[in-house]
Structure 1
Amino acid sequence: MAILKLSTTERRRASTIVTCLLLAFCAWIVTVLSSSYNYNVKAVVNYRNAPQKRAFHSLQTDTVNITLKGSGWKMLFSKINYENKIVKVDLQRLEYQPFIVLSSQLSTINNDMPDDRKIIAFNPDTLYFDFSNRSVRRVPITLVRSIQYQHQFSQSGNVVIQPSYVTISGPSNRIDKITTWRTDSLVLKNINEKITTAVNLSPSAEGNVGIYPKTVQVKIPVEEFTEKTVELPVKLMGNVDFFNVKVFPQKVKVTFTTSLNRYNDMTDELFEAQADLNLWRVYGYSALPVKITRVPAFCKVVNIEPRNVDFIVKK
């Protein structure tokens, strides 16, 4: 079979033709993408200026389809970027009507849009709302946290949240079910000093429930900890009045962790060790395990010596 060979001139001519075709195609693509088009995307509805005297509940989802007018480039990027857009809707008219017409706020909404990408239509265009009695109450705040401390450091006192209560407002049938309000997660690592920081409250998942304030101040005392050992008498429990019982040994050594500032204040009077005689009467135990039933706050028992005590019952 004969092999067709192109001369240098012919190869150059073919290369020029291919290059021209590629340039023409790129120019066509640029021209097409530079033209203006109408295209649809989903947008999240963000409410503002909620009525103060009426509690409301949206009767549709929190997203709407919007028709945008923009260049082909914008349309292309909107297909690539799946992140929802945000439409800010003013609810001031809900003070005297149960619906909001989005197209009536088109110019205001477009003020928050880029100049080369404007909304021209909504679907649905009208949002409907249900109303109920509005109530206000205060509930305590719960701190959500994940804190990792440096070695030998830990929390040494109660968490202080200022303010400790949040005021919530909304429909009575919804507000009455809320008993506490959580913060956003406070995540800290390698902590070796007192924590003082501002933490946001979790936003309301419902547009008709408002909270105030939205941020609180959190203080967590943090100190260096060490170990200390005290001797505790073992207190015998379980109808001991009917028996003459002696335990051996009569005291146990308890090792616990405490902050350095409280080291001298940690005495045996703050602890209590117990053994239950019912374990012998009911289950036939020959030795009784010791439990530490009273421990000061922010102290942690790390060892009990011995963990079991012997006993003699005299009839």
Structure 2
Amino acid sequence: MAQPRISKVKRRKLAIFLRCIVISFFAWLLFAISSIQTYTIKAGISYVNIPEQKAFHPLQSDTVSVRMKMSGWKIFLKKLYPDTPHVQVDLSGLKTKSFIVFTNQLGYINRQFPADNQVVSVSPDTLFFDFSKQTQRKVPVRALYSMQFKKQYGIIGDTKANPDYVTVTGPLEDVANIEYLETDTIRGTAVSSDIRTIAYLNKHQKNNITIYPTFSEITIPVGEITEKVLELPIRVENGGRYTTVRTIPTKVKVTFLVSLKDYNKWTSRDFEAIVDMENWEENKVKTLPVIITKVPNYCQIISIEPQNIDFFVRK
């Protein structure tokens, strides 16, 4: 059966119709991304102008919903690359009251965003605070790092912080639970020399405490490392109930990494290798695993030969 043919006039009308649809779609899309719309985002909050001699507990979450006007194009980008901005809240008003109203700070909040993003409202609109006794405490600084070293290089000594203690001020119940403060993570790749850097201290989202100073100079000693091999005598633990316990062999060979400057510093007296007879008594094993119970700082065990040993027991 012959299929009906579409005339040139109909094909022309169909092409014009499809062209109009495409043009209408792009016109709508251009209008949508250029028009100003209302969009709500989640934002974290931090505090500034904290009243002196006052310690406080926020009585709500540390995130708020910010409703703002922005172009459709920016809304599209926000959805494509979502992020969580931070909003600073001015607490100077807490000198005379125990709450802060966002409506009264919209001008200050709008200055924290680009000029073409207008903040309309924040939810919740009111933040409430509970005041308590303020205290101070000195806590040690702990450096966090995540580094990749150049081949045959590594950390060869203690990490130092200057200052190594900082003063934490805030509510008694919060300050009492802080044993130490960590720095932001120090990162590096192909590291082959000492690291000296300024690292800021991490509050771990405790916005109601202050730290002085807010940073510390961190020094991490880095140097070349190499392999060293030592023979260690094997010590038998929990073998006192037997007349004799003899291990075969009586020594093990330990290979470890050590810095070049400390190569001659460490001897077999600085390590300890043991076998535990309780493992034989409980599990009736035929061989005993060698356990290294003493290793100097910044020495890394690579291998133990043999890892398991035979033994004879005389009761």
What TM-score do the two structures reach when normalised by structure 1? 0.74
Deviation at 1:98, TM superposition (A): 0.6
Cα separation, 2, equivalents of 1:79 and 1:277: 63
Deviations 1:232-286 (Å, cap 9, x if unpaired)?
A: 455555575984x484779525333222212222333333445567778888788
Of 197-206 and 20-29, the range deviating more from structure 2:
20-29
Instruction: Tell me, yes or no, if the aligned pair for 1:287 and 1:311 is still in contact at 8 Å.
Output: no
Deviations 1:15-54 (Å, cap 9, x if unpaired)?
A: 67876786677667756765666x2523523321122321
Instruction: Tell me, yes or no, if the aligned pair for 1:288 and 1:309 is still in contact at 8 Å.
Output: yes
The 5 A counterparts of 1:1-315 are 3=5, 5-6=7-8, 39-44=38-43, 45-69=45-69, 82-235=82-235, 238=238, 243=243, 245=244, 247=246, 252-257=251-256, 258-274=258-274, 291-301=291-301, 302-304=303-305, 308=309, 310=311, 313=314
Task: Report the structure number with the largest CA radius of gyration.
Answer: 1
SS in 1 for 2:197: strand
Deviations 1:267-314 (Å, cap 9, x if unpaired)?
A: 33333445567778888788776554433322244334695365575x
Partner amino acid for 1:203? K
Cα separation, 1, equivalents of 2:29 and 2:259: 70
Cα separation, 2, equivalents of 1:246 and 1:32: 85
Of 106-115 and 65-74, the range deviating more from structure 2:
65-74
What TM-score do the two structures reach when normalised by structure 2? 0.74
Instruction: Tell me, yes or no, if the aligned pair for 1:275 and 1:288 is still in contact at 8 Å.
Output: yes
Instruction: Tell me, yes or no, if the aligned pair for 2:39 and 2:69 is still in contact at 8 Å.
Output: no
Instruction: Tell me, yes or no, if the aligned pair for 1:256 and 1:299 is still in contact at 8 Å.
Output: no
Deviation at 1:88, TM superposition (A): 2.6
Instruction: Tell me, yes or no, if the aligned pair for 2:234 and 2:252 is still in contact at 8 Å.
Output: no
Deviations 1:76-95 (Å, cap 9, x if unpaired)?
A: 66666654454332111112
Instruction: Tell me, yes or no, if the aligned pair for 1:147 and 1:189 is still in contact at 8 Å.
Output: yes
Partner amino acid for 1:5? S
Decide whether aligned partners of structure 1 residues 3 and 144 sit closer, same or farther in structure 2, where only a CA change above 3 A counts. same
Cα separation, 1, equivalents of 2:226 and 2:181: 35
SS in 2 for 1:179: coil
- Kindly, what percent of the aligned residue pairs are identical? 32
SS in 2 for 1:184: coil
Structure 1: gaps (5+ residues): none
Instruction: Tell me, yes or no, if the aligned pair for 2:39 and 2:70 is still in contact at 8 Å.
Output: no
Instruction: Tell me, yes or no, if the aligned pair for 1:34 and 1:73 is still in contact at 8 Å.
Output: yes
SS in 2 for 1:50: coil
Instruction: Tell me, yes or no, if the aligned pair for 2:182 and 2:202 is still in contact at 8 Å.
Output: yes
Partner amino acid for 1:308? I
Partner amino acid for 2:265? D
Deviations 1:203-251 (Å, cap 9, x if unpaired)?
A: 33132123333333332223333333344455555575984x4847795
Q: How many residues align?
A: 310
